[in-house]
Amino acid sequence: FVAGISKTGAAGFKLSLVDSLPAPPSKGDNQWSLELRDASDALMPGYAIEAEPFMPDHGHGTSEQVLFTDDGDGTYTLNPVNFFMPGYWETTVTIVDTGATDSEDDDTDIDTMVFKFCVDG
């Protein structure tokens, strides 16, 4: 873990993990601060963020839903990002354009990135 670690998705969007509380991510509930930029490096406010922690070695995720807050300036807060046991975790983060309506049918996944961490016990 390094503050500012970035992942670029297939569609060219860049997501940076600006901060994690605690840092590095550890067992239990974590809070992540993310920064979203498009391919031209412009900050991207107004999107939804979905995150799913998963342990591929064990074949399971976590029962805690990750909630997001759009901070309004291209940064987003995810809380809780729950790693309930030590081991290797992959957290898939999906950027979602919720469109102009409240209908879930209008939501469009625009890019996906995966953050990978070994969580100590």
Q: What local confidence, expressed as pLDDT, does residue 3 receive?
A: 85
Rounded to whole angstroms, the Cα distance separating 106 from 25 reads: 33
What tens digit of pLDDT does each residue of 36-90 get? 999 999 999 999 999 999 999 999 999 999 999 999 999 999 999 999 999 999 9
Q: Render pLDDT for 86-103 as a digit per residue (tens, 0 to 9).
A: 999 999 999 999 874 555
Better-predicted residue by pLDDT, 6 or 102:
6
CB 49 within 8 A of CB 35: no
DSSP string, 10-76: TTS-EEEEEEEESSS--SEEEEEEEEEE-TT--B--S-EEEEEEEETTTTEE-SSPPEEEE-SSSEE
Parallel, antiparallel, or unpaired: how do β-strands 48-55 and 75-83 relate? unpaired
pLDDT value of position 29:
97
